[in-house]
Structure 1
Amino acid sequence: MSESQSTEQRRCISCGLNIAGTNAARFKCPDCGDVIFRCAKCRKQSNLYECDDCGFEGP
């Protein structure tokens, strides 16, 4: 994976914020296992997200 692809994928799935170097969460989608990133603000506010791969929706 190239440097630009790595940075591209490290965006909050809820708000799109680049989360490189922040206190973010990284976890696998409960349905398909795709890696999901969320920023601390969206996690704290329980903002909804949708997995790009399978469409799973979570708080």
Structure 2
Amino acid sequence: MSQSKQKQARRCVSCGINISGSNAASFKCPDCGQQIYRCAKCRKQSNLYECPDCGFMGP
């Protein structure tokens, strides 16, 4: 993956902001394994997220 795509991919899947804080989460989708990023605020508020590849939804 190119550097510009990596930076673009490091966006919170819930709210869309660029991830830069140390409290951000990075994990693989339980269904398809796509890397998912969430910001600290969305994690704390338990905002829903949707995998951009398969549509899996989680808290």
TM-score when normalising by structure 2:
0.92
Unaligned runs of 5+ in 2: none
- 1:42 alignment partner, SS class: helix
Aligned residues: 58
Whether 2:34 is the aligned partner of 1:34: answer yes
CA offsets per residue over residues 4-43 of structure 1, 9 Å max, x none? 1111000000000100x31210000000000000000000
Q: How big is the alpha-carbon RMSD for the aligned residues of Structure 1 and Structure 2?
A: 0.8
- 1:36 alignment partner, SS class: strand
Q: AA paired with 2:45?
A: Q
- 1:14 alignment partner, SS class: coil
Unaligned runs of 5+ in 1: none
Match of residue 43 from structure 1: 43
- 1:53 alignment partner, SS class: coil
Match of residue 13 from structure 1: 13
Q: AA paired with 1:53?
A: D
TM-score when normalising by structure 1:
0.92
